[in-house]
Homo-oligomer: A and B are copies of this chain.
Amino acid sequence: MVSSENKVHDFHIKNILKRLEEKDLDAMMVANFNNIYYLSGYLSTSFAFMIVKENPIIFVSGMDLENANNNSSIDIIKYESADQMVEYLNEEEIKDLAIESDLTANAYQKFKDFNLTISPAISIERMIKTDDEIDKIFKAGEIAHKSLLELDVRSKQEKGAEEWECAYELGYLMRKNGASTESFDTIFASGPVSSLPHSTPRHHKLDTPVLVDYGCKFEGYCSDTTRTFVYNEKQEEISKIVLEAHDKAIKAVKEGVKSCEVDKVARDIITEYGYGDKFIHSTGHSFGLDIHESPSLSLKDETILEKNMFVTIEPGIYLEGEFGVRIEDMVLVDKKAKIVGNLPPIL
């Protein structure tokens, strides 16, 4: 673990401790793999419990000791049992314990003798990206965009390729171009199933339109992009409305604006064209190590956008039984939104 990374971990941990202290919390128990990775450099593949306090530690299974010791900037202890952890927390005189919102009920009950409080401290810390994180997200976007162009969806469609083959080849190209993996299961939805926002690629030739929602990870950080390849007048007409919502929402993104205000910009445009009830999800979400992070650009999210947050802008119109169109880009928040990459919105 190089010292510059140690410093970043120390910086994040100090900020989190400050937030815990403000709420009179003694420590935080962290089980989410990406949170532990963010704070230590160690990415678990089975389970781990980090205790964030003045001298943080991580409990890992015996199976993971070698890997954890090789990668973590934080001290590692072999996990024996929940009782061992309870004893440890008692010895450290920890009473008010912060937990993550996605801690399992199983763990929740094992530690219920402590005063447990769900804390967003780490999610808040993760909202603002460091320069290194920004570089990695731009790089992930670059790899993803280059790969989609190399795939050449229109030529695949002409040749009668199947959805799953295209999704798989896109995954291959992203890895060949330097990604470690997809950032989520690629959506390659054509014809009527494009109206399902989360369709799974089928053993079925590409119909029209072709909606591709995909991304890759570069050194842990995600990209997230959607393009819809349209083929006739009706599809183009819907696509133009979605594009207008996409472009104006991007213009609305700047530091100081509320998340819900950006959602409203996109939603109002689609509603004006009479498709308000066909835009069945929020306008976007933040991302980073996870593909969905806080804030979300939704009706109810009042989080104020700050410099160096990333959000997706992804309005869509879904005509059940007919087709759907979604156009999604990633933007970096600043005085003016900076779009990740330069992939044309219509391909």
Contact = CB atoms under 8 A, between A and B. Distances in A.
What is the size category of the interface that chain A forms with chain B?
35 or more
Contacts of A303: none
17 contacts: A46-B198, A61-B281, A62-B280, A67-B196, A67-B198, A100-B105, A101-B104, A102-B106, A104-B105, A105-B108, A105-B118, A106-B118, A164-B175, A168-B171, A168-B172, A172-B172, A181-B185
Contact of A106 (B65, B101, B109, B198): B101
Given A105-B103, A106-B118, A195 B164 contact: no
A195 B66 CA distance: 9
B168 A281 contact: no
A102 B101 contact: no
A2 interface: no
A143 to B, nearest CB: 13
Of the listed residues A66, A116, A180, the one surrounded by the most CB atoms of chain B closer than 10 A to its CB is: A66
Contacts of A103: 104-105
A99 interface: yes
Interface of A: 45-46, 61-67, 99-106, 108-109, 116, 118, 164, 168, 171-172, 175, 180-181, 185, 195-198, 200, 280-281, 320
A322 B108 CA distance: 39
Given A45-B200, A105-B116, 9 more contacts: A63-B197, A64-B198, A66-B195, A67-B196, A100-B105, A101-B105, A102-B106, A105-B108, A105-B118
Contacts of A45: 198, 200
* Copies of this protein chain in the complex: 2
A181 B65 CA distance: 30
A197 B196 CA distance: 38
A21 to B, nearest CB: 21
Contacts of A200: 45, 180
A66 B108 CA distance: 34
Contact of A104 (B102, B181, B320): B102
A64 B281 CA distance: 10
Nearest to A81: B300
B63 A281 contact: yes
Contacts of A66: 195-196, 320
Contacts of A195: 66
A101 B64 CA distance: 23
A281 B181 CA distance: 26
Contacts of A171: 168
Contacts of A106: 101-102, 118
